[in-house]
């Protein structure tokens, strides 16, 4: 297949390009990093780039939690307007196969269970609780402690920040496009992606990048809250392989299918910081008790559906991946 990869010069996109080429496909990079005219929001430019293309891997996006609500217009413009322009061009040119870089942030908080009330969905954490160091969300019915678990794709969406809201909107746009064109759309809901080529020293990167950037400066990684937040750190090569599997697998015409895309091996943020610092040979992490309003406490999801339906599985283990990441180069943007 000839595959247009939006954001193909970026962190995840560049790995997707390599994985596609390794499988014998022909990737076409569409990225403002390599060509300022390649803005995904420009429908005419995208339409020209789609000439002779069989499918699209849409990786272009503004990522991360950001620096506050002041970023909302930019997030919506890049992520949602950009996706709408791309899908419009695909509808016009007859390209009917899409793989979207989705995100687990659409779920908000993860799956929780109360001994008394069963599976519950806690609301956003209160500032007063966070200030007092009470980071675990309580049962919304009785206030008791909760046990976190794995989220399935059928869990209701509950985005807790601007970035998460734009990622959910991307899925809705892709679903509407698929219905209108009888196209096939897959959203890979990425977990915490890390690995070689991750951007450094930017407020829009993920927590792994923050820690690795600090170590490169000779500083201790600063771990927010108490470091016990659960996440699924998935290697970028595994995510790239998932994109190829999603492209090659048969999908339902006229519909969007969402797949959780994680390693299946959850760890706490504190564990990740210690593993990375030890592998790098840098200072021990510092647990600060600070927080970001809009962060969720625990979010780990079940990726069994993607494994069962596409044959994909994560290959890079946590310890191996952290050792490689500690030594890998990083990009400036």
Active site residues: 163
Region at 43 (left for phi over 0; alpha for psi -120 to 50; beta for the rest): alpha
Structural tokens at position 2: 């000839």
Torsion of CA 125, 123, 227, 15, to 10 degrees: -120
Please state, as a whole number, how many other Cβ atoms lie within 10 Å of the Cβ of residue 44.
Answer: 10
Provide the token pair at 54.
Answer: 């069989």
* 3-class SS of residue 265: coil
**R_g over Cα of the chain:** 20
Strand order from edge to edge, sheet including 111-114: 118-120, 111-114, 147-151, 300-301
Beta-bridge partners for 5: 29, 57
Residue 91, Cβ neighbours under 10 Å: how many? 14
Binning the chain into helix, strand and coil, the percentages to the nearest 5 are 40, 20, 40
- DSSP conformational letter for 71: G
């Amino acid at each position: 297949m000839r595959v247009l990869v939006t954001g193909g010069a970026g962190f995840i996109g560049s790995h997707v390009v390599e994985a596609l080429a390794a499988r014998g496909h022909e990737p076409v990079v569409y990225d403002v990093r390599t060509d300022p005219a390649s803005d995904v929001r420009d429908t005419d430019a995208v339409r020209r780039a789609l000439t002779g293309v069989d499918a699209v891997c849409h990786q272009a996006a503004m990522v991360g939690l950001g620096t506050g609500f002041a970023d909302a217009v930019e997030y919506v413009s890049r992520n949602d307007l950009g996706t709408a322009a791309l899908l419009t061009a695909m509808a016009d040119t007859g390209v009917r196969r899409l793989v979207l870089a989705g995100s687990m942030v659409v779920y908000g908080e993860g799956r929780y269970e109360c001994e008394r009330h069963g599976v519950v969905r806690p609301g956003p954490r209160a500032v007063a609780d966070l200030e007092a160091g009470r980071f675990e969300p309580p049962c919304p019915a009785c206030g008791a402690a909760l046990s976190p678990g794995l989220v399935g794709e059928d869990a209701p969406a509950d985005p807790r920040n601007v970035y998460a809201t734009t990622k959910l909107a991307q899925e809705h746009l892709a679903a509407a496009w698929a219905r209108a064109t009888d196209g096939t759309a897959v959203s890979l809901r990425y977990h915490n992606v890390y690995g070689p080529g991750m951007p450094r020293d930017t407020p829009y990167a993920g927590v792994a990048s923050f820690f690795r950037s600090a170590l490169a400066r000779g500083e201790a990684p600063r771990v927010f809250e108490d470091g016990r937040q659960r996440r699924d750190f998935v290697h970028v090569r595994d995510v790239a392989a998932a994109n190829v599997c999603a492209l090659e697998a048969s999908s339902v015409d006229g519909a969007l299918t969402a797949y959780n895309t994680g390693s299946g091996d959850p760890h706490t943020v504190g564990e990740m910081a210690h593993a990375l610092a030890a592998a790098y040979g840098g200072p021990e992490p510092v647990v600060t008790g600070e927080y970001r309003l809009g962060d969720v406490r625990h979010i780990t999801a079940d990726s069994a559906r993607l494994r069962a339906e596409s044959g994909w599985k994560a290959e890079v283990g946590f310890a191996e991946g952290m050792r490689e990441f500690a030594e890998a180069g990083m990009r400036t943007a």
